[in-house]
Structure formats: C-alpha cells, structure tokens
Structure 1
Amino acid sequence: MATITMYSTGVCPYCIRAEQLLSSKGVGIDQKIRVDLEPDRREEMMTRTGRRTVPQIFINEQHIGGYDDLAALDRAGGLDPLLGR
C-alpha cells in the first residue's frame, strides 16, 4: 500500500480536490502537513520540492507535485501503479 504525504492549508481548494481524487481511488493521506498551522514546515516543503504553493503531494516519498500534476498523472494512467492498484 502506498504512503501518501501532502503539504496543505485549511482553505486550499486544490488541496481538497487532491484529497477527493485520492479518496476516489480508495486511499487516504497518511500524513497531512498543514503549513498554515506549522509555518516552519513551509520551509521544509520548499526545500523538498522547490515550490511555494500547496498542495505538494508525495507518494512513497516520490514528489508528484500539486493537484494539477496529480490529476494529469491519473489521466495518463500513472497514478494507479504508484498507489499499488
């Protein structure tokens, strides 16, 4: 089973859509890091990804990117194999 980590905020519509997409695949987010509640974690996110925006999604420690990247990966047929499906 895949391990999913997502950097997010409480009011990010793309974070919600990413969660919905993953939920539709029958998987949940193992670690949700709220950078609005833990500002120091935003620096960690930027160091890991080179990006400032949320969501930033990792599957099995592989950086997927944001919601648009996740949705594109799904449309291309690459998401299910990463999720072990």
Structure 2
Amino acid sequence: MANVKEIIDDKIAKKKVMVFSKPHCPFCLMAKEVLEKYVGEVIEPEDYEVWEINKDPNYSQLWEELTNMTGARTVPRVFINGKFIGGGTETRALDSSGQLVEMLKKKTKA
C-alpha cells in the first residue's frame, strides 16, 4: 500500500464527510445513522464515504495512522469538511444541537 497517511489525507480532502468505521461497532452505527439521514438532502451522495477499515488488508497501518492523527484508538473517526469532529457520541451531540447540519451545509472544505 502506498503511504497510508497520504491515502487517508486524500480521502478526507476529497469528501465532505469521511467516516472511518467498523461494521459492527455500535458507535459507528450511531454515527452512520445520524449522517445517512442527510445524504441526498444536505450531503451529495458522492461527498459521503464510509471506509470499513477492518476489511482492508492494511488495517493495522490504517488504525495506527488514524490513532496518530486523532489521538484516540476508537472508531468511528468522523471528518467533516476536512476537520475531525470525533466519533459517534460527538456526531450525535452535534446533530442534537443543530451544529451538524450547519457544518454539512458549508460549501467549502476545511
């Protein structure tokens, strides 16, 4: 695999919403449920991506790099407009406060 950091940075830069996830993680499911209600309305489908990192053959490298980038060894790792916002609990809290939809409506990244 090419430089893992470059691949992660490229994904984050190219997507309005980038989620690094595991399929059966309850916090990942929470974040995806919150975000998916905005796909097609506030988020264009092509601007939203979920990468189930445990299915990638370079999972260990991805996990290590995401830990270095975000300071936590948990998933999900959610990025909006190039900015790390947290995990499932933070995503849900931002949604409850109305801040998430405002972040999603912003046209520019980072």
Q: How does 1:1-85 map to 2 (within 5 A)?
A: 3-26=16-39, 27=43, 29-35=48-54, 37=56, 38-84=59-105
- Code of the aligned partner of 2:53: R
Query: Which of these two proteins has the greater Rg computed from alpha carbons?
Result: 2
The worse-fitting range, judged by mean Cα deviation, of 14-23 and 57-66 is 14-23
Count of residues paired in the alignment: 84
Assess if the C-alpha contact under 8 Å between 1:7 and 1:35 holds in 2: no
Gaps of 5+ in 1: none
Return the letter of the residue paired with 2:33. Q
Taking the aligned partners of 2:50 and 2:16, their CA distance within structure 1 comes to 8
Aligned counterparts of 2:25 and 2:55: Cα–Cα separation in 1: 10
C-alpha separation between the residues in 1 aligned to 2:32 and 2:54?
16
TM-score (norm 2): 0.67
Which sits farther off after the overlay, 20-29 or 53-62?
20-29
In 2: Cα distance, 1:12 partner to 1:23 partner = 16
Shift of 1:57: 0.3
Query: Does the Cα contact within 8 Å between 2:91 and 2:100 map onto a contact in 1?
Result: yes
Cα distance in 2, alignment partners of residues 79 and 59 from structure 1: 9
Deviation, structure 1 residue 35: 3.9
Q: Percent identity?
A: 31
* Unpaired runs of at least 5, structure 2: 1-14
Task: For 1:82 and 1:14, locate their aligned partners in 2 and report how far apart those are by CA, in whole Å.
Answer: 20
